[in-house]
Structure 1
């Protein structure tokens, strides 16, 4: 089977957030993540910074509405659409202020919306600010095996690493890649279905320090970390935004060859943070 990594590499390019307090959320990302703000006719905002883009829409709830991947090439975009259709998935045409015409969406068995398209030039342009490329998105799910099956066997992601409960043998976490980076999507087994976090990949350890110093000046405490993950081998820390969504800053994420077999890690604190205590989802 052709995978995203081998035939249609895809890179996470933006998130679409719903927010009960949209103005406060926009102000958070504008002020702390160096993101310019452009109001849209429908009342939403486009936020863009250095290699990071976001759409924020006012709503009666807060959370993630959709996550979008850039295929980088029209031929690859059409190839993926054909492959999705052949595998029993039905892509739907969409209009997005951040994607060129021809973008489409799919929904997984639990209703999450994934978008595929070509990032508009305005969304891809760099701006001044600390480095932090939007890199991955993670969910908690009550149906982990079904989610992995869909994103691997229907969409074409590749498993980079699994985390397994050693006593029961049950799969607890799965890290999935869409290009050469260790993961752009991951799922944790949880007691409910929710957005877990999203991540910005920096250039080096000193960038992690600079981001932490920025949040410290605003009296925003680190939620998890600093530390180093086992799967992916990346340095990291996490904070929360104005809606209490979790965001991560990372450096040194593993680059993964297409022929690499999935790794297996034990479910323990050391796997999620080799430096010490970890946030355990279940």
Structure 2
């Protein structure tokens, strides 16, 4: 076999083996690495290069070395899952850097982090005043997580006493111009329902590159023709406006009648509609 062809074959074998071994090691090998995983990643890459280029050696010895490193890595991960002491020994511990707006200088020194580097990391979290920080911790991966003081945190719906509906994962029901039946089944809907939504938008399935249905049952689409603007469905705004008008009408009727029983009936109906509008508002205007 010519040398150039041998290099191609060996490289392709190394790529395939490395792919499956990386899949075996899991997602952490391609995201935030621990110390041991970092060492393993470097070594596996070097071994893969050795298998590809060192034509004077037996290439299967490199595959054996790869298998040994993967086995050691899997064994260390299993040990870390089972033992807290093993995690502390093989990986870095988390360290508190800021507490109650005060820098813990001793921990900063242990992590070999300067005050400038700490402030730069805080700015990455959109924090520019140290006094705004309640708590900051360096994780074992080296990232710094920040908890702002309560008065500096953004307001949430809970803080304002607003009830918001539970969100669910949007499901893709159209992809590449084709309807996906399984997501429709998960939503409890049919192709006929989807077709009705598309007709309201004046679209055909073939026009849609991607279509998603959210937790409220709203369909949003991205078209192949990017210059075409998709009209928004007005079903929910119209329903909200109708309920508000009905509530206002009941209140007007209660003010215009002199009959006590009718007045009380209209007032009760107005209150019930008002409660209904307030309950449905997050759904109809979300």
Q: Give the TM-score of the pair, scaled to structure 2.
A: 0.20
Which of the pair is proportionally richer in helix?
Answer: 2
- Give the structure-1-normalised TM-score: 0.20
Higher relative contact order (CA 8 A, sep 6+): 1
Larger Rg: 2
In terms of fraction of residues, the more strand-rich structure is 1
